[in-house]
Chain A
Amino acid sequence: MKRRGFSALGLYACVYLVFLYAPVLMLPLFSLNDATYVAFPLHGFTWRWYQELLADSDLHAAALNSLKVAVVASLAATSAGTLTAYALTRGRGVATRTVAALAVVPLFVPGVILGIALLIVANLIGIGPSLIAVTFGHIIVCLPLSIVIMRGRFAAYSRAVEEAAMDLGAPPWTTFRRISLPIAAPGVISCLILSFTTSIDEFIVSFFLVGTQQTLPLFIWSHLRFPTQLPRMLALGTLILLLSCCLVLCAELIRRRGTDKTAFA
């Protein structure tokens, strides 16, 4: 398909990028604007919103909660997803396929419905809306992601490597730990990062499961209603944007180093 440059398509792609970025870039722009309402013309430069934001102790608590939830949820979802994806690529049995099919169901359930279903479970088993419930919800949201990513990762190299280890007498666990996992390590790390950012940003399931301790998106949600809080939320959005950019770029760099190394695939 290497015909002469069809530049209309390239132009369209650039316009599309503007459509993607323009709204997002309004956040940093107006977070530095010295006015409470968000409109042109700009009123001058200020760090005020960032200073006020960073002094807010509710924000500190919410950020800490989000961090705790995201660390636990991404570790749990990635480990569980990695194991099942590994079992899947080895094609083991009905149990594996059933678990994998069930685990990707959340992709087909709107967040509101998943949220209320988990709220009912949380109330039934007595933990109620709480950070533990939120963590559990995030594991369920991240699990399909990690299974899909890790499955692709494990499928990307030859089974012969594992078979060689087995033939040389390594039991399955040793083969997994010493051979398969190191080869798939870049996938595990990018999976951890993607689960982490998903959990940090997850709103709707947390909305139902959150108790008295807020997470970051719920902190944002509760502040969006007050016009005077708005510039501070834009500042927070800018910080989140910067942080996620760093994380995504790290994930991408690791992923690319990983594809270089698996030359024997």
Chain B
Amino acid sequence: MERRSPFERVINFPAGLVAVTGILFALALLLVLSFRNNDGQILALSFTTDNYTSLVQDPLFARILLRSLIIAGLASLATVVLAYPVAYYITFRAGDRRALWLILVTLPFWTSYLLRVFAWKTILGYNGILNSAFVALHIPGAPFETLLYNPGAVVVTLAHAYAAFAILPIFVSLSAIDTRLSEAGLDLGARPWTVFRRIIFPLSFPGVAASFILVFVPTLGDYATPLLVGGNSSLMVGNLIEDQFSSLDDWPGGAAMAVAVMAFLAIAFFVGRGAWRGWRRWQSGALA
């Protein structure tokens, strides 16, 4: 082994310091706090599992967590399904204008996140843009009260707000595909749809999965969207956790909720990965 130079010894120090204090230590502390009594101290010797037992017994938490999982799942699904054809178009059909398209789809993403969410409130509101257009067009029943403050509004807003998260990973995995594979498929007499279904989509699946995760994680904990466009019927687990840290002043309870959410995320991740691997194995078995 060659000797390591001073540079090579400190190269990981900055990121390591940030990662250990801000990520490892912070998440560990969150875990510790979730086993503490609500006595106003962060570190002390008494431990309790009360936070978790009351969480399990709390129907409100279960309902809101389930609702959050469904809303985030639908929003991620909508984002990925809407984005996939666009990523496909950019990769295979945009030609010289590929770079332009990539800039075009990412630009709206760099406007203020809060104002992007808020724009939907102004569009869907009772006195909003859509309703004022409906009234002007004399559509019967307009203005509608039901456009805003429902889970559907949250799903649409989130699918819009996180669009770039989905397009880019799918684009990256699509552009890594060797086009000779699909040409071979076509030469051997497969129809374009079959080529897509049996070659292109399976090869781009890692990008689809990455997009789904990249959208699912932030939408599951989204705080502003449910408050701005969701209303009381669509509050999500991020709002519930925030309540514990502000108005309800129950930090250990909030920490337990956060740990529970992380656990659900981890379970969802491993179940999804297991299902994908099982499906792949089943497919390759069916081919053999």
Contacts and interface: CB of A to CB of B under 8 A. Distances in A.
Contacts of A208: 242, 245
Interface in A72-120: 76, 79-81, 83-84, 86-87, 92, 95-96, 99-100, 102-103, 105-114, 116-120
A55 to B, nearest CB: 20
Given A83-B15, A217-B114, 9 more contacts: A13-B86, A21-B108, A24-B108, A105-B19, A121-B22, A121-B29, A207-B242, A220-B112, A245-B107
A248 B238 contact: no
Interface band, chain A: 35 or more
B129 interface: yes
Interface string B159-185: 010010000000000000001001100
A237 B112 contact: yes
Interface stretch (B147-155, B257-265, B272-280): B257-265
Interface string B68-108: 00000000000000110110111011000001010111111
B133 interface: yes
Considering the complex of A and B, which 5 residue pairs feature the smallest CB-CB distances, nearest first? A110-B221, A80-B14, A173-B7, A237-B115, A244-B110
Interface in A194-212: 197, 201, 203-204, 207-208
Interface stretch (A44-52, A135-143, A182-190): A135-143
Contact of A143 (B8, B15, B92, B265): B15
25 contacts: A6-B93, A10-B89, A12-B89, A16-B82, A16-B85, A16-B86, A21-B108, A26-B122, A37-B127, A38-B129, A40-B132, A76-B18, A83-B12, A86-B11, A95-B12, A106-B23, A107-B217, A110-B217, A111-B223, A116-B241, A120-B42, A173-B7, A216-B112, A244-B110, A248-B103
B119 interface: yes
Nearest to B115: A237
Contacts of A30: 122
Interface band, chain B: 35 or more
Interface of B: 5-8, 11-12, 14-16, 18-27, 29-30, 33, 42-43, 82-83, 85-86, 88-90, 92-93, 99, 101, 103-108, 110-116, 118-120, 122-123, 125, 127-129, 131-133, 136, 160, 163, 179, 182-183, 192, 213-214, 217-218, 220-224, 228, 238, 241-242, 245, 251, 254-255, 258, 261-262, 265, 269
Nearest to A105: B23
Nearest to A12: B85
A160 interface: no
Interface of A, secondary structure class, is helix
A103 B18 contact: yes
A121 B26 contact: yes
A171 interface: yes
B286 to A, nearest CB: 26
Interface of B, secondary structure class, is helix
Given A112-B241, A240-B111, A241-B111, A79 B14 contact: yes
Contacts of A110: 217-218, 220-222, 238, 261, 265
Contacts of B8: 87, 92, 172
B22 A113 contact: no
Contacts of A21: 108
Contacts of B116: 23-24
A102 B25 CA distance: 11
B149 to A, nearest CB: 15
A195 to B, nearest CB: 12
